[in-house]
Amino acid sequence: RTRYFRTANQFNIATNLLSGNVFPLSDEKTSLGFVSLLWVIFVWLLNISYIFSVMSGSLYFAKLSTKETLKRSGAVIALFLELTIPLINLNLRRTSFRNLIRKYNSILIDSDDLKRLVHDTVKPFKRGVKMYTVACLTVATAWSAEPFSRIFDNDTFTYTDFTAPGYFPGEPFGKKMFAAGVTLQVVGAWSINFRKISIDIYVNYFIVVLSAQYK
């Protein structure tokens, strides 16, 4: 009775856990397993470290003008706000989401036709969000990994050589330290974007299931 909403979209389950968002997927309160809890903590630490590095590097250590800061790091700051606001909003309404899932499940359990409609409606939705996920993560990776192309041209690097000027100890950096910093920025940008994508998928899945009930 409690699994119809959850199992209709396995991709939603995967992105919800891997992103570290862990929004409700059933009408019951559940606790994270030990491994899942460690993963969520790791994702949060990664996100916080990335944002702290970019914010401190762009606003203080790189000594950029306001215009340069917005040009170089404005996209990251905007994405962080786009992630934080709905993340707080959705977590404050976890009980409401569980109640809504309970209503969905109570309707679906009594109707095979409705289950089929939900399945048929969700199928193209899953294809679309998978393409959306791949496209967004590809762009985020390519954007943040661009400084790798400079490693063979210079021996020392500064905060401003990163795509989004970020703070890492030990400026000026050698090639190995710079490569490590760029790698951390790639992983951080990937993680932040994936969390935002996961929110989009989670919210839109509710809309898709609701739409199927009115067909």
Q: Where are the domains of the chain?
A: 4-18+31-213
| pTM for this model (two decimals) | 0.88
Residues whose CB falls within 8 Å of the CB of residue 83, separated by 6 or more in sequence, listed in order: 192, 195, 196, 199
CB atoms within 10 A of CB 140: 22
For the chain, what is the radius of gyration of the CA atoms? Answer: 21
Which residue matches tokens 């460690």?
Answer: 38
Q: What is the pLDDT along the chain (215 residues), one digit of tens a residue?
A: 556 777 778 899 999 999 999 999 888 888 888 999 999 999 999 999 999 999 999 988 888 888 999 999 999 999 999 999 999 999 999 999 999 888 888 877 777 777 788 778 888 888 899 999 999 999 999 999 999 999 988 999 999 999 999 999 888 999 999 999 999 999 999 999 999 999 999 999 888 888 776 65
157 DSSP β-pair partners = 173
Contacts of 143 (CB under 8 A, 6+ apart): 163, 189
Which pair of tokens denotes residue 196?
A: 């935002």
Asked if 166 and 73 count as a contact pair (C-beta separation under 8 A), the reply is no
